[in-house]
Amino acid sequence: MISNTRLLELAAEYGTPLFVYDGSLMLERYYDLFKFIHNPRLKIHYALKANYNPGLLELLRDAGAGIDAVSPAEVRLALHLGYSPDRIIYTANNMTDAEYDRVAATGVIINIGSLSRLKKCAKNYPGSRICLRFNPDVCDGDNEKTMTGGDLTKFGILLDAVEEVKAIVKSGNLHIIGLHEHTGSGLQHIESVLQSMRNLMAIATRENFPELEFLDFGGGFKVPYRPDEKPVDYVSMGQQIDALFDEFCRNYGKDLIMRFEPGKYLSAECGTLITEVNTIKHNRTRTIAGCNSGFPQLIRPVLYDAYHHIENLSNPAGAPQVYDICGNICETGDRFAEQRELPEIREYDLLAIRNAGAYCYSMGSIYNLRAMPTEIVVVDGKVIHINNRMNDEDLIKSVLARTGKQVAK
């Protein structure tokens, strides 16, 4: 972990708000997975949507990871950064014909999650090698908005539609080389991971799909967001995953590749958003610490009621007090934390918002016309990659560029 002293130095050097990513920690998390799961044919495809920072993607590329991409631009970014097509899987939902065509032309395998798209594939791309996404029929996740299995979600083909799937596959002479499921994000129970695997394996028979090369069990591995949160027993989970998959391969009669697609597990904990408090204000019952960042830069608390741990970097020994930690956006809901106890916050103190490496910058926007912060990637204490904040002039140019107007001198 990057020390708080180092975070203060980096904030002084690069200004705030600032995203700092600990590349060493992300790689440690990547290698962790190979310690938990021992199958020699395990492949980790990082869910790029969690954080598309090129510095992080280069580290994972060099470590041997693959990519789970969900838009043609994510595919292009990964290809541009040197991931070969065979290391990428494209899992969009509700994709257009044009998107399909663009990705098919790159040679990246497409993961199809609806009968409608499968029919179009059989018609337009007969003979192609594809993957099929099924709904695992298991509901889990840290938030109902991010649960992807079960009746209420838009994802995947129903498990009981296998016969229909087979008929379409036959009509287009398609080659099903992979099956996929994703249960949700922040899976609370090991049993959910295992049950989803079992449900997919139950239809992954030689009889149904004789040409399988891999099974992909999605992402969703949970990381602790609260300091007192009990970590998942990944050693035990890994053993159970290995046992299940071994048994499956024996029954199938072939050693398939086992894929997972973690996003949060790899990148959440490696990120910290440093923000400066510029205003302390007492509103009768509440003390408000107003910062120079806001929910467009880290939306998870507002969107999912997610807890992000916050530390006072510059006054760690201050007497504890209770604060609403608010941003600089013109909305009352613009809070990183409500009624949170922290060491006394003074104006110009720097706060560290933890677990800001997954679904923070990548879900960011320029709402209120505030540019997204600079991001830096640190490996072994050294800054190896900088993504600069856009200055206001460039931000305005980017807005005006799309109208075809020139910036007034």
Binding site for ligand LLP (CB under 6 A): 47, 50, 68, 91, 146, 148, 182, 185-186, 218-221, 261-265, 300, 304, 358-359
Phi and psi, residue 132, nearest 5°: -115, 130
Q: Measured between alpha carbons, how far is 45 from 229 in angstroms, rounded to an integer?
A: 26
Query: Any idea what DSSP says for residue 147?
Result: B
Minimum distance from CB of 363 to ligand LLP (Å)? Answer: 6
* Lookup: tokens for 77: 């970014």
- The closest of 33, 37, 41 to 254, measured between CA atoms, is 41
Farthest CA pair distance, the chain: 71
Q: Measured between alpha carbons, how far is 187 from 196 in angstroms, rounded to an integer?
A: 11
First and final CA of the chain: distance in angstroms?
A: 46
Q: Measured between alpha carbons, how far is 108 from 179 in angstroms, rounded to an integer?
A: 15
Minimum distance from CB of 265 to ligand LLP (Å)? Answer: 6
Cβ atoms 178, 193 nearer than 8 A: no
Minimum distance from CB of 401 to ligand LLP (Å)? Answer: 29
Cβ atoms 104, 124 nearer than 8 A: no
Q: Buried b / exposed e across 116-137, counting CB within 10 Å, b at 16+?
A: ebbebbbeebeebebbbbbbbb
Minimum distance from CB of 46 to ligand LLP (Å)? Answer: 9
Instruction: Pick the closer one to ligand LLP by CB: 11 or 112.
Output: 112
**H or E stretch including 151?**
none
Minimum distance from CB of 187 to ligand LLP (Å)? Answer: 8
Cβ atoms 23, 382 nearer than 8 A: no
Phi and psi, residue 203, nearest 5°: -100, -10
* Lookup: tokens for 327: 């941003």
Minimum distance from CB of 181 to ligand LLP (Å)? Answer: 9
Q: What is the CA radius of gyration of the chain?
A: 23
Residue 330 is a catalytic residue: yes
Close Cβ partners of 222 (under 8 Å, ≥ 6 residues apart): 142, 186, 187, 188, 232, 264, 265
Q: Measured between alpha carbons, how far is 29 from 270 in angstroms, rounded to an integer?
A: 9
Minimum distance from CB of 304 to ligand LLP (Å)? Answer: 6
Instruction: Pick the closer one to ligand LLP by CB: 219 or 327.
Output: 219
Instruction: Pick the closer one to ligand LLP by CB: 34 or 287.
Output: 34
Which one of 131, 139, 270, 330 is the catalytic residue? 330
Active-site amino acid positions: 330
